[in-house]
């Protein structure tokens, strides 16, 4: 199993002096996700919870709908004459007999990247076509004091970030602010996929009674993944994008930004915050 942390020698400069020290880095390596014999994605991730990442990715992209469709998840065997580093960096998801999937959906999903030029309206309509769960109206109800304490809980429970300072986190809470699950990764979308994948594999989706906190900004992609999991409240330590706000408003999601230092902004769904 690949390790999430790597120790490297560095030269530390402090003012006019320098000294050799050991530094801790968050590991970033590629993970190939295969559906049966077909490769469907390669993502740069921090090793750990890779089976959850594969399941969560396929679930939040609308390829899979629940854990019952999956027969097993296993490490892919190395390709003939392939790179030995592939071992531990490729995961295969095997489906149960009779399960049919729409792999063309992944190819149609190219425009969700914030760097491309396709309009936001098409991206939002794509979510609607994927059939995301209908969020409960005005539920769950969460008090502002609970929201204020979420970042502190998140940071306290981030083991790899505490040692490296280089990871994003996604944390699932109940309406009383009790931490249910946390996942870390160099990619914010991977951290969310790992968390949602774990809940999907455990048979707990949709997550209609939970709220999600992410350590960075709230992009359209994170709103989409949160919607696919049926989570009504997404809170971010950083800022949301314009398309994230528009999407949250369209689907009646509560979206909070700048959740830190005892304050936050409500961009959508204020009725769930007491």
Is 116 a catalytic site residue? yes
53, 102, 119, 203, 229 from 64: Cα distances, Å:
13, 9, 26, 13, 12
Q: Kindly give, in sequence order, each residue whose CB lies less than 8 Å from that of residue 8, ignoring residues fewer than 6 positions away.
A: 22, 23, 25
DSSP three-state, residue 38: strand
* Contact indicator for 189, 218 with CB cutoff of 8 Å: no
Catalytic residue among 116, 117, 203, 261: 116
Based on its alpha-carbon atoms, the radius of gyration of the chain, rounded to whole angstroms, reads 19
Closest residue by Cα to residue 196 from 53, 44, 43: 53
- The two structure tokens encoding residue 80: 């003939």
- DSSP letters spanning 57-90: HHHHTTS--SGGGEEEEEEPPPPTT--GGGTTSE
Q: Answer yes or no: are the C-beta atoms of 167 and 185 closer than 8 Å.
A: yes
Residues known to be catalytic: 116
């Amino acid at each position: 199993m690949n390790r999430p942390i790597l120790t490297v020698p560095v030269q530390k400069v402090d003012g006019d002096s320098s000294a050799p020290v050991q530094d801790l880095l968050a590991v970033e390596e590629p993970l190939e996700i295969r559906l049966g014999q077909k490769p469907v994605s390669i993502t740069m991730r921090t090793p750990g919870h890779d089976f959850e990442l594969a399941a969560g990715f396929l679930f939040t992209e609308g390829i899979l709908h629940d854990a019952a469709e999956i027969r097993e998840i296993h490490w892919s065997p190395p390709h003939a004459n392939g790179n030995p580093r592939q071992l531990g960096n490729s995961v295969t998801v095997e489906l149960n007999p009779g399960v049919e999937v729409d792999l063309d959906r992944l190819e149609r999903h190219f425009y969700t990247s914030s760097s491309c030029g396709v309009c936001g309206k098409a991206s939002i309509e794509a979510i609607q076509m994927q059939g995301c769960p209908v969020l409960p109206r005005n539920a769950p109800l969460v008090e502002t004091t609970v929201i204020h304490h979420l970042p502190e809980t998140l940071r306290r429970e981030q083991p790899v970030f505490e040692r490296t300072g280089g990871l994003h986190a996604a944390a699932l809470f109940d309406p009383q602010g009790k931490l249910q699950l946390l996942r870390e990764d160099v990619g914010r979308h991977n951290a969310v996929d790992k968390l949602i994948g774990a809940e999907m594999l455990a048979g707990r989706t949709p997550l209609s009674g939970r709220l999600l906190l992410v350590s960075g900004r709230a992009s359209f992609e994170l709103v989409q993944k949160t919607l696919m999991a049926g989570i009504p409240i997404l809170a971010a330590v950083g800022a949301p994008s314009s398309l994230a706000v528009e999407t949250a408003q369209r689907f009646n999601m509560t979206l909070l930004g700048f959740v830190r230092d005892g304050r936050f902004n409500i961009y959508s769904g204020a009725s769930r915050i007491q």
